[in-house]
Structure 1
């Protein structure tokens, strides 16, 4: 019996179906030290627990003075101030004594003797003084929910007395590599054997997006063993990835297992590379069957699993960096197929990018190493144009593409 894909769906429909099916799923919330929370996503809004500063503080090294006593000071008419009575020395951050209301920085102070200062410039009230709550006011919202914490967020929170924050747990992902022909990278492949590197490549990206990742041992192409690994992973994982076996070959059991143990959301997406992707739900968990060809697995990971990782933490995945570029030669694709081509980019003197497509193929790893970006080519359903002018406009429009720079 020949296995066939289910009806392939468009990229947009596949992403929407996957996200909508798990739209209410979130990782658990945990409380961690603020100092260790860089890059984590807040589960709730965070308010200042104290004002910062919570006193009037010197913003400069110098002397605290009474502003009214400095009026009229100039080079021709310097004003003398008595230490302890009219002025006191302060360092940056020191509290301002109650009787003073301004600070003159040390570079503008002449000390005549131990007890006398001379100034040649008057200052207004509250000059060089940090007000209470200048940086943060107790009770004010500092960071909203669903925000990835950056380095300056950490600093502001700690200053405001927030030493612990509630964040979404990092999604736990289990990768299950399968295949009789696979060996570990440290081994020496014999004829008919292939190095299993897809799991490490996928894991590197998953970690970058904020996930914790476990890779199982390589599972042979035996249905019972793959099924056992899947069921065990579903207990502890937020997402399960089965590597290879998503196609329709004799040893590809992934689709049968997922159909028996859960619900198939879709099998096959109208993209290249990455077409044989499987998405399913097993024990309420998303399960993705990635193709064995490395560029297919790489692209599907970026397009689909990346979306889920962010969604599980309550935020939208950031948009890919994009630029517009021209393509100076004809690029063809199958009708209705969204093809992702690796390209080199040339920046010319007219501030315009030109994209040069590289070698096609789902196993051509060298092309991704040399690529500057990814060009999505949507082949349109052509209609016979009524006029030459219309045809010209269509062709010209097809020569401009948006390039995704994956990083």
Structure 2
């Protein structure tokens, strides 16, 4: 186990790491893994781009109409009064007009159709009157309106997607618009996870006195699935030294990351701690946050190790605040600041000074139309319903006490988490 230095806030009895300090330490531990693969773009959603995407095309590839209407010359637009333009042809998407627009003429044009020679403006069909083969145009139009120019979205040589970007649905469409069928992405992280404890029972088996169902492993499975990692679910490991050692050894030789929940705090299950000391370098941290005060982190061989708290809400809070940013860095993703919003507290929020708290809340519109947040009820770290009913964390600073209704608080929407 790594020995804390005298300057380490965990070195002194009762010393606590702040959330920012703990997050910075974990990001330092998180080394991007090597390896890339080439994927069809339909299989690349959510994957991390390994190389820049440079446009080899102009998009749009030609000047075209942004509206259904009439292609005209800007020079023919009236400043006042009306002008009558002779309709001389039609331009459709995929079927350009072979007729140029001359003085006093116009061409019927559809959205996306190539602009005919001579025309530089499109008038919406609702903005003109059509009388047989004549289009009547009034004042108020500007030359160049309703026209999309060649390369205005992307031009040849533009870097349109940077390495480290997690590909979103719009990115897949962008790649397709450039005619790119495949991209190179970082390989997926391999994450091994398991639960420890004789009190844990798998689903489908009745509970005996003193036993509980292993919910944390299912929560971790769900959160890791949304990150797109390769999952190695190693089940429940009993409170047995040899079983724990074998599980850690198997996990660290197969995975980039090893993760457990419960049983790794100082003073708990000494054989777990001894096994971690034997196989790697792991620190046991106490953090100035609630829920989720204990956290173990370090390395087991080449694998990054996370020992999360045992209470279900603590597992989720520490995963989102610490584990997820570290895993994204290991996957090659560019760092992103968490999405934090300031909203009004719709009710009194209870809090004691001392630790930063991630209370669970739900956003809603107030009677005045402004966003506000309400608590989801009991905030104990064992109350998983407080997470299930929530759509955000309410972030209350360590030094703050109770928050009065109407005060401004910071929230982290779950929608901003992967």
- TM-score, normalised with respect to structure 2: 0.74
Q: Is the 8 A contact 2:196 2:263 kept in 1?
A: yes
Across the aligned residues of Structure 1 and Structure 2, the Cα RMSD in angstroms comes to: 4.1
- Structure 1 counterpart of 2:92: none
Determine whether 1:177 maps to 2:195. Answer: yes
1:80 aligned to 2:67? no
| Corresponding residue SS for 1:217 | strand
Are the equivalent residues in 1 in contact too, given 2:288–2:398 (CA < 8 A)? no
Separation in structure 2 between the aligned mates of residue 251 and residue 101 of structure 1, nearest angstrom: 77
Residue pairs, 1:187-198, within 5 angstroms: 187-198=205-216
Q: 2:23 aligns with which of 15, 23, 32?
A: 15
User: Cα deviations across residues 339-397 of structure 1 (Å, max 9, x unaligned)?
Assistant: 545568898779796876954543233444456754556666xxxxxxxxxxxxx9899
Equivalent residues of 2:284, 2:294 under 8 A apart: no
Deviations 1:175-201 (A, max 9, x none): 111222211122221212210010111
- Contact 2:314 2:381 (C-alpha < 8 Å) held by counterparts: yes
Moved more, 268-277 or 120-129: 120-129
2:381 is aligned, of 343, 346, 362, to: 362
Task: Please show how residues 301-316 of structure 1 align to structure 2 within 5 Å.
Answer: 301-312=319-330, 313-316=332-335
Residue pairs, 1:28-177, within 5 angstroms: 28-61=35-68, 70=76, 78-82=84-88, 90-98=109-117, 108=128, 110=130, 112=132, 117-121=133-137, 128-177=146-195
1:332 aligned partner: 352
**TM-score scaled by structure 1?**
0.75
Gaps of 5+ in 1: 381-393
How many pairs were matched up?
382
Change in 2 beyond 3 A, CA 1:401/1:279? farther
Range moving further from structure 2, 34-43 or 81-90: 81-90
Counterpart residue number, 2:251: 233
Answer yes or no: is the 8 Å Cα contact 1:373–1:404 preserved in 2.
yes
| Further displaced range: 120-129 or 31-40 | 120-129
Distance 1:187 1:228, change over 3 A: same
CA distance in 1, matches of 2:143, 2:177: 26
Larger radius of gyration: 1
Q: How big is each residue's C-alpha offset from its partner over 1:34-57, in whole Å with a ceiling of 9 and x where there is no partner?
A: 344444333333221211222333
User: Partners of 1:325 and 1:224 in 2: how far apart?
Assistant: 52
